Amino acid sequence: IERASRVIVTGITANSSKHPAPAIPYSPPQHPPTPKTDMVAASKESLPPFGHAVAGSLGAMFALAVVYPLDIIKTRLQVQSKATESASSNSDEKNYASTTDAFIQILRSEGFLGLYAGLPAALVGVASTNFAYFYWYSQLRALYHTYRGGPQGTLSTAAELLLGAGAGALATIFTIPVSVITTRQQTAIRSERDTLAGTARAIVREDGVQGLWKGLKPSLVLCVNPAITYGSFEKMKEFVLTRVGGKDLKPLMAFYVGALSKTLATIVTYPYIMAKVRLQWKPPKDMEGKVEKYTSAVDVLTRVLKNEGILGWYKGMSAQITKAVLSQALLFMMKDVFTRYTILLYALARKLAASRAVEA
């Protein structure tokens, strides 16, 4: 054994002297990647429009679930008029004096679940609307850069507004039926409230298929709302990042920037928001014939101005602004969070697909 050992050692030494082994540089021990390092690496991946749509929809659903009681309250305040206030004395329909009064009355008469009437339809609506918006915005942005032939850098304010309006219009055309159903469920008295499918059937039975697209024209006009919101958000975000540095806003800063941008958009477009809701609303059976029926958004604005003054255009605006600001700020804040995790999942899916292709 000793002789064999000497032979092996001698052979190795001799071979090493003739052909010295290359030096192996020292490398520190490799630690398994953590979710944080994976996230940083994955952040370099680019998401397709589908990924942006998923991230935007998840953030919107989260935001709506948080502020939904305000959504119920602002909708019921928006459909109130002098005619409904006088007719409500002989009806099951409630008359609300303010946001706080509406909250208390709904809680007393319908219970806690009354504050969430129509939530399933609303979640479907906000998810589909935001999915469609972010999807079409990403598609239009890519087409814009392809047409211009330049790199996908920052856009001018005019381009941001134009792309936002186009994406909003396309999203609205496909998703407004859910908005009509949600408005009917939110404003229906408890005894007349139906399911999502039942409400849709009732609308088609009473008004035809076109009834599902009530309020389409003012809804298309309201496409300037997300255009103003997203356009101003991107510009304010760019301004903040040039001052503080970094690539993404911190969640709290995103909240403030989103709140400011949504407040601006809501104040500018609120009269048409109110008009759209009144067009989509259906009064209770015992109030039919006692309240006015509107034919268009202009008709709504004209009658409200005549009967209630200019303040009638802004009925329920405090609840609308509070709800809109909170939901939009939460949407922006959570969209960045959901985007990071969507990027990670997308990167992992690509790696898995690549490994399977190699194995095949």
Indicate whether 240 belongs to any domain.
yes
pLDDT at 67: 92
DSSP string, 110-169: H-GGGGGTTHHHHHHHHHHHHHHHHHHHHHHHHHHHHHHTS-S----HHHHHHHHHHHHH
Question: Which residue positions in the chain have pLDDT lower than 50?
Answer: 1-45
Indicate whether 26 belongs to any domain.
no
Find the CATH number of the domain harbouring 250.
1.50.40.10
Gyration radius from the chain CA atoms? 29
Separation CA 187–CA 206 (nearest Å): 17
CA dihedral angle for residue 91, residue 322, residue 157, residue 215, rounded to 10 degrees: -10
Indicate whether 248 belongs to any domain.
yes
Do residues 62 and 109 touch, judged by C-beta distance below 8 A? no
Separation CA 144–CA 163 (nearest Å): 9
Indicate whether 232 belongs to any domain.
yes
Indicate whether 280 belongs to any domain.
yes
Separation CA 152–CA 141 (nearest Å): 8
How would you class 162 by CB atoms within 10 Å of its CB: exposed for 0-12, middle for 13-18, buried for 19 or more?
middle
CA distances from 189 to 91, 112, 264 (A): 10, 15, 33
Indicate whether 99 belongs to any domain.
yes
Separation CA 327–CA 68 (nearest Å): 9
Do residues 218 and 276 touch, judged by C-beta distance below 8 A? yes
DSSP string, 255-304: HHHHHHHHHHHHHHHHHHHHHHHHHH----GGGTTTS----SHHHHHHHH
> What's the whole-model pTM score?
0.70
Q: What is the domain count for the chain?
A: 1
Do residues 46 and 151 touch, judged by C-beta distance below 8 A? no
Indicate whether 213 belongs to any domain.
yes
Domain of residue 147 covers: 46-343
Indicate whether 222 belongs to any domain.
yes
Separation CA 275–CA 304 (nearest Å): 9
Per-residue pLDDT tens for 255-297?
A: 788 778 877 888 888 999 999 999 998 887 767 666 778 889 9
pLDDT at 69: 93
- Amino acid making up residue 207: D
End-to-end CA distance of the chain: 49
Number of other residues whose CB lies within 10 A of the CB of residue 104: 12
